[in-house]
Each structure stands twice: as C-alpha cells, then as structure tokens.
Amino acid sequence: MNKFKSEINKKIQININYEFKSDDLLLMVFKHPSFILDNTNNYFERLEFLGDRVLGLTIADFLFKTFYDESEGDLAQRISELVSRKTLLEISNKLDFKQYMILLNGDKSSKVINDTILSDTLEALIGAIFIDGGFLKAKHFILSNWKQIVLNYKAPPRDPKSLLQEWAMANSLSMPIYNNYVKKGPDHSPIFSVRVKVKNLGSASGEGASKKIAEMDAALNLYKKINMKLLQ
C-alpha cells in the first residue's frame, strides 16, 4: 500500500472509531464494484451481505431490549426504518464516505457515487469490522452510530404506504395502485422506479434499491403532495 492510501486509511479509522488489523480489508470496503471496469469485486458484495445481517441482528436485539412492551408489529416498523437506505445514507454522509471514495478511487468516481453505493458501503464496512474484530466490535460500531436515531423515535415510525392507504380510506377514496415498475443500473446495484396513483387524487413516482423501497418513496412523495395541496 502506498503512503497516500495509508494516510487515508488512518483518517477513515479515526473517523469510524475502529482500528483495523487488516488495512487491505478496509480498502476493499471502499472499492465498490462500480469503480472497477470488469465489476469483479465479488468480495465487496459478500461483505455487504454479511454486514446487512449483522446490522439487522444488532438492531433487532437492541429494539427487543429497549422497547420491551411493544408488539412485534411495532418493532418491525422500527427496524424497517432503521435499516432502510435512508438511514444508511444518513450515517454514510455523517461519516464522510463520499470524500474517502473519491480520494481512494480518483475524481472520476465522483460521477459514479450515488445514494445506493454509499449505503452499500456502510453495510460492507460493518461486515468488514465483523470479520476483522468480531461481533462485539461490529455491535459497538453499529450502536455508536444508530443508538441516538433509535431513541429519537418516541413512537414506532409509520411507513409511507400505510399512511397513504389510511388517508385514502379515511377520505373514501380508492386504494393506491402501484405500477410502471422499471429496473435500471447494473445487477449488483440496481435502481427500481415505480408510480403510485390514487383515483381522483393524483400520482407520484419513487425510486429505490428494491421494489419495496421504491414503493415507499412513491407513497411518501404522493402523501407530501396531498399535504401541500391541503395547505394551499
């Protein structure tokens, strides 16, 4: 590893408050397949897969112990929000991931970096910490970055699809219909788009890393549009 990359590695470790035993493993985290011409960084995707599972288990355990009187449904709503792309992106931005990616992969990478890549990288980092230091180290990293977000939700968050459906029912309107599904981008980092429509009310589109996330985004956009009309 050259001196420049070594310095960046040190800055990343200070920022995330974890010291890696393997510098090469940390560098792998910031080598998203989109930055590689032949897209062969299979190990990144494996780290992302592992990190996603470690994150889910850690958050589920923390929710179970913190909100001991809540139902399974309420806990499910909380964890859905906490492991969502939106939350992952929020934490990735707080940790300055984009800056480190550009420094390690060159200025051209700035044109490739998007919200999905940033959130994928956070999951890969969690997987790498798990491999490098074990579950307790990964758990400490997760809770140090998620705990305050968890505690900020006094009540379980309501998902946008449920809010939109309940609003339509309360106003004697037809149920929201989701259609026009489109998938774009590479297989390892797809982006789905979808459109939601409520008859006699309007429609809105949304995007996300899965059909479910795209539907949530579309529902939220239409719900916001409805509220804007009501305020006019």
d(CA 22, CA 47): 14
Residues recognised as catalytic: 52, 123
17 three-class SS: coil
- The first and second tokens of residue 42, run together, are 């299979």
First vs last C-alpha separation in the chain: 59
Q: Which own/partner pairs from 7-15 qualify as long-range (CB within 8 Å, at least 24 positions apart)? A: 8/100, 8/103, 8/104, 11/100, 12/100, 15/95, 15/96
- The first and second tokens of residue 17, run together, are 């408050």
